[in-house]
A and B are shown apart, each in its own frame.
Chain A
Amino acid sequence: AQSVTQLDSQVPVFEEAPVELRCNYSSSVSVYLFWYVQYPNQGLQLLLKYLSGSTLVKGINGFEAEFNKSQTSFHLRKPSVHISDTAEYFCAVSTYGGSQGNLIFGKGTKLSVKP
């Protein structure tokens, strides 16, 4: 079985500061990895995904994430945040080769960007 741990439930940061949202996963098989963003009272929007290839993945809105297989991590980073990045961020995994493709989510990290 797979599981996802997001180590920080809340991350406050000042505008234009860098931010890292941490995600660790557990799986006995290879996985696909995802980061989603959820703005208040809205659905989830895909930020980026790792399927294969380069371990550094670039996404929308200036976010990037690095897949580290040895540490089973997929941390999300942005070098300079904006007020508009205030939202909840979810890390998720899915297994290779499965016909289902359903996602297993972490509990989320609330990013609060202050002026």
Chain B
Amino acid sequence: NAGVMQNPRHLVRRRGQEARLRCSPMKGHSHVYWYRQLPEEGLKFMVYLQKENIIDESGMPKERFSAEFPKEGPSILRIQQVVRGDSAAYFCASRRDTANYGYTFGSGTRLTVV
């Protein structure tokens, strides 16, 4: 049973380009969370999704950032018109439907904006 798969592991974008980060949750996990880790900081919650629904996006910047978790396929975190301040590690976590907080984290995507 594969873990949470994130790709790409490393992503370099020039300022103004778009970044698309993908997350495939563990089999049987229908809840996905995205977190951002800035240098020397802990992880900050961005968005919580279930299949085809955004449950909580209170941690998402209001502009340029969007997330989806379609019925088929991985969850996507999309950053439009990237700026240097978007450089960070982005982690995805997934869990089952039961509320025992058994999160599994992916290895992250490290975005560098040049």
A in complex with B: yes
Chain A interface residues (CB < 8 Å from chain B): 4, 6, 32, 34, 36, 41-46, 49, 51, 90, 92, 94, 99-108
Instruction: Give 14 A-B pairs besides A6-B42, A49-B101, A101-B48 with Cβ atoms closer than 8 angstroms.
Output: A32-B101, A41-B110, A42-B107, A43-B4, A43-B105, A44-B43, A45-B105, A51-B100, A90-B43, A99-B55, A102-B59, A103-B43, A105-B42, A107-B42
CB distance from A43 to the nearest CB of B (A): 4
Residues of B within 8 A of A103 (CB): 33, 35, 43, 45, 103
Residues of B within 8 A of A99 (CB): 55
Chain B interface residues (CB < 8 Å from chain A): 4, 6, 31, 33, 35, 40-45, 48, 55-56, 59, 91, 93, 95, 99-101, 103, 105-108, 110
Number of A-B contacts (CB under 8 A): 59
Contact B101 A51 (CB under 8 A): yes
7 tightest CB-CB pairs across the interface, nearest first? A105-B42, A43-B107, A43-B105, A44-B105, A102-B45, A105-B43, A107-B42
**Given the complex of chains A and B, what is the CA–CA distance between A6 and B6 in angstroms?**
28
Residues of B within 8 A of A107 (CB): 40-42
Contact A106 B42 (CB under 8 A): yes
Contacts A32-B101, A51-B100 given; indicate if A102 touches B42 (C-beta within 8 A). no
- Of the listed residues A44, A45, A90, A104, the one surrounded by the most CB atoms of chain B closer than 10 A to its CB is A44
**Given the complex of chains A and B, what is the CA–CA distance between A45 and B105 in angstroms?**
7
